[in-house]
Structure 1
């Protein structure tokens, strides 16, 4: 019986309802004051409460696919996941080299101080940024690399890793929940990559709306422009970062994985690579949000599989998916099949895995090591 199918959910609900009915029927018989009756009441309440929690967990799992099947659940409990490495297109290091056509943030000054107006919490600073091209005013959370403000680092430029959270979430998801800064520090200590400036922009504009990071039609927010043009331009003006695209990359999970892939593939002059965890390669809009008409020019623009077939951009992608993840697997498989140079796709395909944070946390060191190996701007030098 499938862990996420309606028969299992129906069975769990039926057992829960039956337990509640039995508890109501037997409760008067357990009402007398005795040690046995008190223990029976406690046991009955515990059983019914536990079944209610299991019912809620089963429903949430069916909706969000935290665990795809029984093998996935067992693997999460014992810490074992079977995975396969697949590749398509060019080599990652080759895809991220050289130049690409399109707009990109120019080289900014060697600023020695932080931009004003930020709310600082240690090395994490929150800014409100207005995008002149998109017209969006949004939050951007920045995590400084270690030593950024030291006088000895005043002429050092740091690569940029732009993060995209899942939906619903906040710009701090990669810093607080995924602990990206801590994992990056471990990879730096192991000499697998350089320290980078972590930039986490707001993607839910307006708040609470799953815009899939795209530019909508007239009257809709221009999220792609905000994320891929306004935010990099602001970062280049405000922090000591390089201009070459081998020093800029994106990373995202779930919906944020789509966003990371989209901005990198549509803006290869700005980004050399993207890390995509449980993402997909065509937008998945909710029924309540339709930023453009099906069959429109924008609909064609955001089909990244078609882009990879006809106009493959020179970017490197590290992708995680699972045979059991209906959110990401079908479009990832299509992208792998379509990939040809100059795009490069390195995929980790899990045999039995769901769509959850715990899984992606375990793969974060591997993905950052891949970034440091294949992008010269993130590669640690002696």
Structure 2
């Protein structure tokens, strides 16, 4: 049974409750002196504490989606994917593993609600293989749009979140369908995934010297794989990125650094430079130049403004990036176009991002060009 299995969570909770009840029931019998009663009390306390901690950890992981599997938790899932060619350009880069409906009324009819496809994306140039979900809007399945290519956006979680969070907690597909049905959002294909393409390492969407080429995977391999399999545009004007936390930094950073790949970015609670800590390791191979080039405020001070549109979001109270966000807005000049969502209060959490996602999707879709 997997780490995120409901059966595992239920068993952990039941075990914790039973051990707690057993401790209360057996404690009077173990209250005597002697070696055996003392050892019995120690064992009961240890087992009860461990079971409660395990159940609490599983509940927290189920809610926040820190780890998607036992291998992810233990750090053993580090194998890089291999490229598989099948005789034609673009073949073998994207494989559909399954489909599911969108959790809205009429969600079982893709012509009315769209569809979610679980896929695996294989990077031809980087050798990286990563799982993702692709949301296809209702129009993708309607006969009148049979010859239409759609704009697309990559949707990124934070670190070490899971792609499932984008469906179950932030509800991107459900929100997109409702906004499209209401006429507020233009039909857009969404590629939902986490920025962690070399788990358990937090690469911050950087091409690490001698390591994972995360930025190239998103800006080249992913776009090519999706465009070879789905009816989406191939030019930058038809592609955007939206993300929260680490995903927000990745979205803005990759768009500013690669205007030939993405033309629109949304950073929800994103930072403006990559951290260097035990989860990242040395991202820049000791190069100060690379470190500066991945610092977004430094780029605004020292490099030409990229011709892209960026939406940044923060809160006056509850977010640690508020001052940096204000500095980013103040430094930006044409041809860089900047918009913002600034809440009075809101923490670094799903509740805050759920307040921002609908408006952010509307804004992003209106700025993506139809192929």
- Summarize the Cα distance change of 1:206–1:371 in structure 2 as closer, same or farther, 3 Å threshold: closer
Q: For residues 68-124 of structure 1, give each alpha carbon's deviation from its aligned partner in whole angstroms, at most 9, with x where no partner exists.
A: xxxxxxxxxxxxxxxxxxxxxxxxxxxxxxxxxxxxxxxxx9x9xx96543223422
Distance 2:224 2:318 in 1: 36
- Structure 1 match to 2:41: none
TM-score (norm. length: structure 1): 0.65
Q: Please point out which of 228, 231, 253 is paired with 2:219.
A: 228
- Structure 1 match to 2:259: 268
**Equivalent pair of 2:314/2:322 in contact (CA under 8 Å):** yes
Distance 2:175 2:284 in 1: 38
- Structure 2 match to 1:148: 140
Distance 1:134 1:115 in 2: 14
Task: Kindly state the Cα deviation for residue 149 of structure 1 after the two structures are TM-superposed.
Answer: 3.6
Whether 1:345 and 2:324 are equivalent positions in the alignment is no
- Structure 1 match to 2:236: 245
Whether 1:316 and 2:295 are equivalent positions in the alignment is no
Q: Please point out which of 199, 205, 211 is paired with 2:191.
A: 199
Q: In the comparison of the two structures, how many residue pairs are matched?
A: 277
Tell me which stretches of 4 or more aligned residues in structure 1 moved more than 6 Å. Answer: none
Secondary structure class of the residue paired with 1:323: strand
Secondary structure class of the residue paired with 1:351: strand
Q: Please point out which of 83, 100, 111 is paired with 1:121.
A: 100
Distance 1:117 1:248 in 2: 21
Q: For residues 20-68 of structure 1, give each alpha carbon's deviation from its aligned partner in whole angstroms, at most 9, with x where no partner exists.
A: xxxx9xx99xx9xxxxxxxxxxxxxxxxx9xx99xx99xx9xxx9xxxx
TM-score (norm. length: structure 2): 0.67
Task: Kindly state the Cα deviation for residue 335 of structure 1 after the two structures are TM-superposed.
Answer: 1.1
Whether 1:371 and 2:348 are equivalent positions in the alignment is no
Distance 1:147 1:326 in 2: 37
**Equivalent pair of 2:94/2:225 in contact (CA under 8 Å):** no
Secondary structure class of the residue paired with 1:148: helix
Whether 1:255 and 2:243 are equivalent positions in the alignment is no
Task: Kindly state the Cα deviation for residue 297 of structure 1 after the two structures are TM-superposed.
Answer: 2.7
Task: Kindly state the Cα deviation for residue 151 of structure 1 after the two structures are TM-superposed.
Answer: 4.3
Task: Kindly state the Cα deviation for residue 230 of structure 1 after the two structures are TM-superposed.
Answer: 0.5
Q: Please point out which of 150, 173, 188 is paired with 2:180.
A: 188
**Equivalent pair of 2:186/2:366 in contact (CA under 8 Å):** no
- Structure 2 match to 1:172: 164
- Summarize the Cα distance change of 1:140–1:370 in structure 2 as closer, same or farther, 3 Å threshold: same
Distance 1:364 1:232 in 2: 22
**Structure with more relative contact order (C-alpha pairs < 8 Å, separation 6 or more):** 1
Whether 1:278 and 2:257 are equivalent positions in the alignment is no
**Equivalent pair of 2:120/2:131 in contact (CA under 8 Å):** yes
Distance 1:190 1:217 in 2: 46
Q: For residues 337-363 of structure 1, give each alpha carbon's deviation from its aligned partner in whole angstroms, at most 9, with x where no partner exists.
A: 211111111122223321111111012
Task: Kindly state the Cα deviation for residue 287 of structure 1 after the two structures are TM-superposed.
Answer: 2.7
**Equivalent pair of 1:161/1:197 in contact (CA under 8 Å):** yes
